[in-house]
Every structure is written in C-alpha cells, then in structure tokens.
Chains A and B, each alone.
Chain A
Amino acid sequence: MSAATVVRISDLHKSYGTTPVLRGVDLEVRQGEVTCVIGPSGSGKSTLLRCVNHLEKINAGEVEVDGELIGYRRHKGRLHELKDRLITKQRASIGMVFQNFNLFPHLTVLENVVEAPIGVRGLSRAAAVALGKELIARVGLAGREESYPRQLSGGQQQRIAIARALAMEPKLMLFDEPTSALDPELVGEVLAVIADLAEAGMTMVVVTHEMAFARQVADTVVFLDEGRVVESGPPAELLSAPRHARTREFLARVL
C-alpha cells in the first residue's frame, strides 16, 4: 500500500529571533494518514504545524503540500517568498483547527461556517448554507445554526471550528492541540469527531497530548523534542516500546 505523499517537510529550520525552535525537521504524511505529533511543551510542535500553512515564515528547508512548495517558489536554486495572494490560495485547501477555537464571535454558527466558502471558494449562498448545515449536523450540532459561539460550550465551539475548516473541503487538516483548552469531560466529543474524520479517510496532522487518542487513531506518531524529530513510528511501537531514552522519559511523565 503506497498512497501519494500529501505533506513532505525536509530539513525545516525556524527560529524566533535568535531562539531556534525547529532545527532540521523531516516529516512525511501520506494520503489518508493520521499523524500525531507529541512532545514536551516548547518542543516546536505548534510551530511545525503553523509552518505547514505558512502562518509562520521559515528560515530554511522546504514544506510541500500535494507536491506544491508552500509559501515560496524555487528559482535558480533559491527560494523566493510568494505574494500574499498566492499564499492565501494555498491556505484555502489546508484546514486548521486551533487550541482556542478562534471562532468569529460576531457571527452566528452558520455564518462562521459559510463565510469562507462564499468569500474564498466563491460558492453561492444557497450552496454554502446547504453545505454548512450538513457539516454542522455532521459534528452533531444540528439546530444550533443561529447560536453565537459564546452561547456554546467549549467542546461545541471546537466542533463548529472543525466544521468551519471542513467547509473549505481541504485536502489536509491540521489540528493544533484541539482539546487542550477544554474541560476534561468535553474532550471526548471533540476527539470523536476527529476520529470520525480519520475513519472517512481525511489526511490529518494532529498535535496532541492525548496519548490514548494517538494510540487509537494515529497511523504514525512523531515525537518532537528541542526542535528535532527524535523518533517516529506506528503508535503501538513508539508508545509501547520507544527506542530512545528521551521518548521513554517523556512518555513516563505523561502516561
């Protein structure tokens, strides 16, 4: 079984000022695969994810999604930064879900979901509303279309944020600690939605602290520490029989 590569990251370097955050990360994600990125805080997990849709500029290396270089174009062996408009276009096919949901508080649930399909994909309002209602139902919130985000629980808000990202019909979904801001009893409902997506064959990169979820849903688990991939592999191997001392140490603390 060799599906096409959706994400290919090679030798990615990124620093904030003089502080290096990523120091040569390599990562591949194939079509339909779920990759969970784990690691201690400050290890660069979120930064790695934000480089994939160019919310962060990179210092060196390459990020490709679907064979397309993200944020840059290659010209005579050097990388040149793309114009905003082209980057915007690239982002439209990459969905992202944030730790703090970042729903638009002044828009209703339905308006949150249809805003980008209408404004960016150019769908008609009727088509976008139909799609939006379908996705809201898919995350289990049918009937809440006219609510405002603040009237929903954290778990419900995060499910709407997932529906909002799906409305762009992305070829890749990025999750940045999607359950870290939630009360413990609300974590399950969000993870269930993400697991459903995995079942449906969505290609996903999930930064998470939920080891049980990683074990159950991930095809590959990547352990990141101090800006480098320490090891990666199927969850059964990496989580149960880690090869590196640092991975063992980290797992001993979180499991």
Chain B
Amino acid sequence: MSVSTDLVPPPTARTTPAAGVVPLRRPGRWISAVVVLVMLAAAVRSVITNEAFQWSVVAEYFTAEVVLRGLGLTLWLTVLTLVLGFALGTVLAVLRLSGNPVLVGVAWGYVWIFRSVPMLVQLLFWFNIGALYPTLSFGIPFGPDFVSISSTNLIGPLAAVIIGLTLHEAAYAAEIVRGGVISVEQGQVEAALALGMGRGRILRRIVLPQAMRSIIPAAGNALIGTLKGTSIVSVLAVQDLLFSVQLIYNRNYLIIPLLLVATVWYVVVTSVLSVAQYYVERYYARGAARALPPTPWQRLKGRLR
C-alpha cells in the first residue's frame, strides 16, 4: 500500500472493533449452562448405572439379525409410504387447486375421509377387506365382469399395511403441498403467465421449487411421524422393528432392554433424518436470503479459527 497523504486514515486500516465497546455480559447463560450440565450428568449416570436397564442385553440384541431385518422393513415401509403418499398427495393438492369444481370436491372429500379415520382402524379395514368385498372384479360398471380375484389372496398383511399407510399419508401430504403452493406469491404465477408459460410448467419450474421452502419442514415432520407410525403395523404381525423386538421378548421376557433396542434405533434414524432435513432446507433456501446461513460444521470451524 502506498503512503497515504490524507489527513484521515482510510477506514479499512482499522481491523479490530473500536476500543471502548464492551459487549453486554451475560452471566445468566453461564449459570444456566452449569445447572443444565449437572442435571444432564445426573440423568445419564442414573440411566447407565441402573441395573434394570440391562445395557448388556441391549448391546447383545442391538445388531441381532432379526432386529436389523425389522429395521430394514421399517425403513423400507417409511420410504415407500413417503414417496407414494407424497406423489398421491401432490396430485390431490393440484386437483384441489385446479379450479375444476368436480376435482376440487373429489380432493376435498378424499382428505376429509382419510384424515377422519384413525390409522389403526384403517389398517384393520384393509386387512379385513375380504369381509367387505370378497372378490375384486375388473369389468364395466353395472355391466359384466372380465376378471375376478379373491381379495384375501390379493391383499395380505403387508399389502394392507402399504395401502393403509400410503392413503393416510397422502391425505396429510395433500394439505402440506397445498399449503406450500398457496404460500407462493401470486405475482410469481402472473410473471410466468406473462412469459407465455403453461400451467404445468409454471407449477414444476416456478411454484413448486418455491413452495418447497414451506413444504420441507412440514414434510420432515410427516416423515418422522411416518417412521414411528409404521410401528402400528406390528398389530397385523408385519415384522417391522417393533414387532421383531416383541418376538424376542415374548420368548425371553427381557421386555425393557428390547424396547430400548427399538427406541435407540428410532432415535438414531430420526437424528439422521433431522440432519438431512437441515441440508435439504438449506438447498431450497438458495435465493431466499442474500447469503446462505453457514452449516453447523462451517460455524464450528469459524469459531475455532
């Protein structure tokens, strides 16, 4: 830098904040931190040292093959339900917003019915569909049938579970997607219309990407809800994570440690999903703020430097 002849030093010369500014001291934060740490330590100690938790049993069964297979089924059901549910839910949301009074009515009726019937009741209905409709036929309405199949053969416990969870999820997903879509400012649609874009393209390229910002947090909630909600399938003897540990403790009566095995797995998967949600939200935040917020990892590195 050349020697400045100006009387006033350039403002960039000052790299530290002006002397004399003392940030407000916050002793309350330190006190509360100590209190919380002490309480946490006490809680952890009691959980570890309490023999009744039987951590050795938990460790023994944590990666047992039956448990892992149950976990696999739980994850598979969660993903399948989420994907199918949100696909159907998006269609329902589009129908609801279509302006066609018949389609609006259909979508509204669907959401009304499937949000009204409890999940468990719905699963039992699907499982017992054979009692309501012994055969499923393909043919002309009010006319002859071409193919007839016994519905008990077609819909076993797993199919009942998949259908029930998906239809239930779709009703909630429809509202989540609809909420996201109507949160996008109307001017966005008008600008796209003025550019000669068609309705479908506007939805895909302009509205949905912006709607994702409010869809993701609610969808993350729904996903985690679904993950744990799948445990309901144990009542139909579908071997998910919960049913697998139930099978084991029905044999050896080690109920608490085996429930802990399932609990810890649910917590682990939920934690992974929460982190994933953070990064997905960050992705869809691009353009919404002037600069993206730093990731926790970047923040940590910044503090340590």
Give A residues with C-beta under 8 Å from B: 53, 55, 84-85, 88-96, 98, 100, 102-108, 115-116, 119-120, 148-151, 161, 164-165, 168
Task: Kindly list 8 other residue pairs between chains A and B, CB separation below 8 angstroms, not including A88-B198, A107-B287, A148-B290.
Answer: A85-B198, A105-B210, A105-B287, A106-B210, A108-B287, A116-B192, A120-B195, A168-B196
Chain B nearest CB from A138 CB (Å) reads: 18
CB nearest to B194 among chain A residues = A96
The verdict on B295 contacting chain A, using a C-beta distance below 8 Å, is: no
CA distance A96 to B192 in the complex (A): 10
Q: How many A-B residue pairs have CB under 8 A?
A: 80
- How far does the Cβ of A207 sit from chain B's closest Cβ, in whole Å? 14
B191 interface contact, C-beta 8 A: yes
Kindly list chain A residues whose C-beta atoms are within 8 Å of the C-beta of B198. 84-85, 88
What string of 1s and 0s marks CB contacts (under 8 Å) between B267-305 and chain A? 000000000000000001011111000000000000000
CA separation between A149 and B287, bound complex, in Å? 7
- Shortest B196–chain A CB gap in Å is 3
User: Does the CB pair B196–A116 fall under 8 Å?
Assistant: yes
Per the bound structure, the CA–CA distance linking A53 and B193 in Å amounts to 9
Nearest CB of A to B231, in Å: 37
A-B contact pairs, 7 of them (CB 8 A): A88-B198, A98-B190, A106-B210, A116-B192, A120-B196, A120-B197, A148-B290
Q: With A55-B190, A102-B188 in contact, do A150 and B289 touch (Cβ < 8 Å)?
A: yes
Q: Is B156 an interface position by the 8 A CB rule?
A: no
- Closest B residue, CB atoms, query A50: B190
Which chain A residue lies CB-closest to B198? A88
In the bound complex, residues from chain B placing their C-beta under 8 Å from that of A106 are: 209-210, 284, 286-288
Indicate if the CB atoms of B195 and A92 lie closer than 8 Å.
Answer: yes
Kindly state the separation between the CA atoms of A161 and B199 in the bound complex, as whole angstroms. 20
CB distance from A84 to the nearest CB of B (A): 7
Most A CB within 10 A of own CB, among B190, B194, B198, B201: B194
In the complex, the answer to whether A116 meets B195 with C-beta atoms within 8 Å is yes
Partner of B187, one of A92, A98, A148: A98
Report A165 CB to chain B, min CB distance, Å: 7
Q: Determine whether the beta carbon of A148 is less than 8 Å from that of B196.
A: no
- Which B residues are closer than 8 A to A by beta carbons? 185, 187-188, 190-199, 201, 205-206, 209-210, 284, 286-290
Rounded to whole angstroms, the CA-CA distance of A149 and B286 in the bound complex is: 11
Q: Which one of B192, B201, B287, B288 has the greatest number of beta carbons of chain A within 10 Å? A: B287
Assess A89 versus B196: contact at CB under 8 Å? Given A100-B187, A104-B206, A115-B205.
yes
Q: Evaluate contact between A88 and B191: CB separation under 8 angstroms.
A: no
Q: How far is the CB of A148 from the nearest CB of chain B, in Å?
A: 4
- Quick check: B286 and A53 within 8 Å, CB to CB? no
Contact A84–B199 (Cβ < 8 Å)? yes
C-alpha spacing A208/B198, complex, angstroms: 29
Q: How far is the CB of A238 from chain B (nearest CB, A)?
A: 28
Measured between beta carbons, the chain B residues less than 8 angstroms from A115 are 195, 197, 205
Complex Cα distance, B287 from A9, in Å, reads 39
Q: Is the CB of B196 within 8 A of A102?
A: no
Residue of B nearest to A96 (CB): B194
Question: Which one, A92, A103, A104, A150, contacts B196 given CB within 8 A?
Answer: A92
Q: Quick one: closest A residue to B208, CB to CB?
A: A106
| Distance (whole angstroms) from the CB of A91 to the closest CB of chain B | 5
Across-interface contacts of A116 in B (CB, < 8 A): 192, 195-197
Using Cβ atoms and an 8 Å threshold, which residues of chain B touch A165?
194-195
